[in-house]
Amino acid sequence: MPPARKRARSYDSARTRAAVVAQFDHVRAGVGALTPDQLELPTRLGDWTVRELAVHIAMTVGAVARAVGLPEPAEAEVRLLQWPFTTAAWADAVDEGVRAASLAGEGLVELYDRTAADLAGVLAGASDDRLVQTRQGAMRLGDQLVTRTVELIVHTDDMNDATGLDLPYERQALAACVRLLADALAVKAPGGSVEVRIPPYAVVQCVEGPRHTRGTPPNVVETDSLTWIRLATGRVGWDAARSSAAVSASGERSDLSGVLPVMS
């Protein structure tokens, strides 16, 4: 797991909390309107159906309340910029939990209503600095909430792709998701020879080599928010994004295929 850089980006607590609630409400409304046939549609997530994807989204948000309900750990084990590199190790456990929950008999509307209520209760009373136990290790609640923006935005995009819905992306949730994944790229491929631009949310420098100091950088990669998120999570490959003109890349060091995806 790549180390976190010393100075992590700060996130506004009130905006992050509001963004998590708002994005979950968008998904909640969309899931509540799905037909039985739509729930059985395939997704781009292996053999998960839309139903299993919907269960997973609720479980990722419900993890906040579950974590706060556990005894507080003695010390933090995972910093925010380490989190993107810890998720792949838990993929099998996540899949097992989703399948078990899907067979448990609770309806999706009830699951989402309960999750929304649990989340509201946590956000009303728990401090960002409270340590919580997660699958990946103990971390600050404020950091866990930033990771929920990634889960929510990425899986909202998965839901839209599978169903043809047009669920909205809450601006603050999208911004936090883009920034965390961009900063994780800079951790995974440290350096200053390539400038990666995801307007209007993030600009990072990465990849070993000559560091740019002034003027136009010699190696520049630029893309939109959703394309960046799909690249960073392996939903789309570098070559496909380049060939479709969803990514512009200039300079001999601008090929990021060797360091993508950031998380999977």
Q: How many CB atoms sit inside 10 A of residue 26's CB?
A: 18
Q: Is 70 left (phi over 0), alpha (psi -120 to 50) or beta?
A: beta
What is the pLDDT confidence band of residue 2, given thresholds at 50, 70 and 90?
low
CA-to-CA separations, 19 to 5, 41, 79, 174, 190, in angstroms, rounded: 25, 28, 21, 9, 29
Residue 6 reports pLDDT greater than 50: no
Residue 103 reports pLDDT greater than 90: no
pLDDT of residue 218: 84
Rounded Cα distance between 166 and 173, Å, is: 16
Rounded Cα distance between 209 and 195, Å, is: 12
pLDDT of residue 3: 56
Q: 222 forms bridges with which residues in the sheet?
A: 197, 248
Q: Average pLDDT over the chain, rounded to whole?
A: 93
pLDDT of residue 87: 93
Percent of the chain with pLDDT over 70: 94
pLDDT of residue 240: 97
Q: Cis before residue 42, ω within 30 degrees of 0?
A: no
pLDDT digits (tens, 9 = 90+) for 26-61: 999 999 999 999 999 999 999 999 999 999 999 999
Residue 19 reports pLDDT greater than 90: yes
pLDDT digits (tens, 9 = 90+) for 191-227: 999 999 999 999 999 998 876 666 667 899 999 999 9
Rounded Cα distance between 180 and 176, Å, is: 6
Structure tokens at 199: 């307007």
Residue 128 reports pLDDT greater than 70: yes
Of 19-23, 68-72, 91-95, 162-166, least confident by mean pLDDT is 91-95
Q: SS in 3 state form for 176-219?
A: HHHHHHHHHHHHHCCCCCEEEEECCCEEEEECCCCCCCCCCCCC
Taken in order of first residue, the domains within the chain and their CATH numbers are 13-174 (1.20.120.450), 189-250 (3.30.1050.40)
DSSP helix/strand/coil, 251: coil
Residue 92 reports pLDDT greater than 80: yes
Backbone angles phi, psi at 147, to 5 degrees: -65, -30
pLDDT digits (tens, 9 = 90+) for 106-117: 799 999 999 999
The sign of the torsion formed by the CA atoms of 170, 174, 177, 180 equals negative
Stretch 222-247: mean pLDDT, rounded?
Answer: 97
Query: For the purposes of burial, counting CB atoms within 10 Å of the CB of 166, is it exposed (0-12), middle (13-18) or buried (19 or more)?
Result: exposed
pLDDT of residue 196: 97
